[in-house]
Amino acid sequence: MTTASDLLPNDPGEWRALLLAERARHAAELMAARSRAEEEIARLRQIILELQRHRFGRRAERLDPDQLALALEDLEQTLAATEAEPAGAAAIKPAPARRTVNRGNLPADLPHEEILIDVADKTCRCCGGALHAIGEDVSQRLDLVPARFRVLVTRRPKYACRRCEEGVVQAAAPARIVDAGIPTEALIAHVLVSKYADHLPLYRQAQIYARQGVDLDRSTLADWVGRAAWYLRPLHDRLLANLKASGKLFADETTAPVLDPGRGSTKTGQLWAYARDDRPWGGPEPPAVAYVYAPDRKAERPVAHLRGFAGVLQVDGYAGYRKLAEAGSVRLAFCWSHVRRGFYDLQTGGSAPIASEALLRIAKLYAVEAEIRGRDAEARRRERQARSAPLIAELKTWLEKQLAAVSRKSTLAEAIRYALSRWEGLTLFLDDGRVEIDSNSVERSIRPLALTRKNALFAGSDGGGEHWATIASLVETCKLNGVDPQAWFADVLTKLAGGHPITKLDELLPWDYARQAEPAVA
């Protein structure tokens, strides 16, 4: 019987070789473990940097012009204050050069009120004769009359016959959104626009009204909003149906915190956005967006929302949209902006030559898009096939080569796999001139929801989330079509309260409303 000790060598040289081999194996294992640990530490550090940027830093890859304007505002205020110094101070300091400022053009349709500033005595100081006018200086200044409440008193006389006394004759009372209530439809429209377009929560609106001597409880304003949302719901449904009849849509979603009284906190609902914007290729359909509230983010939600839709749906990387494509009637186009974002996060975290190279290659695709924006769909398709297709073929080969060279657990590998796993949807825009290179159109429609969410913090219930989706859809669609939301809501609410036919709802959609208003303006 052979034991383990019998297998051991007797020669000291062989013992030395075994010892060296064991040490080498152990050192190799240590180096491999250290390499794995360093990769893991680098990956975790990158995650921390991304979380810090997400929590405390900018979320867009480009500089926000509004943020730049904040600095310019301060500089302009300082210059204006300097120019406004009194004459005594100006005598001490050299007068600043007069600035060239764009003060804006005053619209011709604004009401004009003339103020005459005339001399008190129109007799000549020398000879006592009458002065005659030889000209005048005219200046225009923009003035503002703060919003003022007024009371509309409606009188409905009653009539009766003195002879037969068969009954009382009286004109019918006009229909109202709030029966027996005090608000006009214009006031309700102002509350809606202030909350969902200007992002003023109802309690802040109540504070503003109180400064004007009108005490309106927040719950009263909430009642008006709820009643208006009930009247506007059929228009929202018609808007969504109109969008689903299109051949191409954008889709995105964002969180909608909703109060959950049973738990004493908030739950996370979702506002799904479905948008149409054919302006980049001169399409015939007007721009529009419809939001739909849902209590969760399950994949069944967009499937239910877009039932009946057939065409191209441009989305981000959320896997829930893939259920829509399983039936074959929907093709998914993915977003290059989300691909770029993964490499951008790596570049901002430190030295990342591969990420920087990826950004440069993607920037060439966007340069082509900037040149062909506004052309028809077929012209865009031809230019993309000639110019963008070779760039994308080279980019795919380069990404596959880089993926084989980097650690599979690194964040760089994750960014590369994100792109390669969605390559078919990312290249769909090459064959269809209607498709955009990214889904930024719908992301721009999501931003107003984020502002309202930031100021209002949460919706009071699932019903409040549905009201939010209904009214915000109509507000943003008005803005996309150049329609004043205040005027539109006031007119449409009046018509809906008066019994506007349900079969003619399309006449009230913002783009039809804008077309009807054009002849009147002309």
Whether the Cβ atoms of residue 444 and residue 244 lie closer than 8 Å to each other:
no
Q: CA neighbours within 13 Å on the CB side: how many for 75? A: 6
Contact, 349 vs 46, CB < 8 A? Answer: yes
What pLDDT score does 522 carry? 45
In this prediction, residue 13 has a pLDDT band, given cuts at 50, 70 and 90, of confident
pLDDT at 136: 87
Q: Is 70 exceeded by the pLDDT of residue 351?
A: no
Assess contact for 254 and 270: CB atoms under 8 A. yes
pLDDT attached to residue 6 = 56
Max Cα-Cα span within the chain: 148
- Amino acid identity of residue 450, one-letter, is A
Estimate the crossing angle of helix 218-244 against helix 185-196, to 10 degrees. Answer: 80
Q: What one-letter code names the amino acid at 37? A: A
**Average confidence (pLDDT) over 341-346:** 86
Higher pLDDT, residue 387 or 181: 387
Q: Which pLDDT tens digit goes with each residue over 139-159?
A: 888 887 777 888 989 898 988
- Return mean pLDDT, the chain: 82
Q: What share of the chain is helix, strand, coil (3-state, %, to 5)?
A: 55, 10, 35
Least confident stretch, 16-25, 239-248, 435-444, 495-504: 16-25
Predicted local distance difference test score (pLDDT) of residue 17: 78
- pLDDT value at 475 more than 90: yes
The pTM (predicted TM-score) of the whole model is 0.76
Structure token pair of residue 74: 């301060």
Distance of alpha carbon 223 from alpha carbon 421, whole angstroms: 49
- Structural tokens at position 182: 């005090």
pLDDT at residue 25 greater than cutoff 50: yes
Residue 169 has pLDDT above 80, yes or no: yes
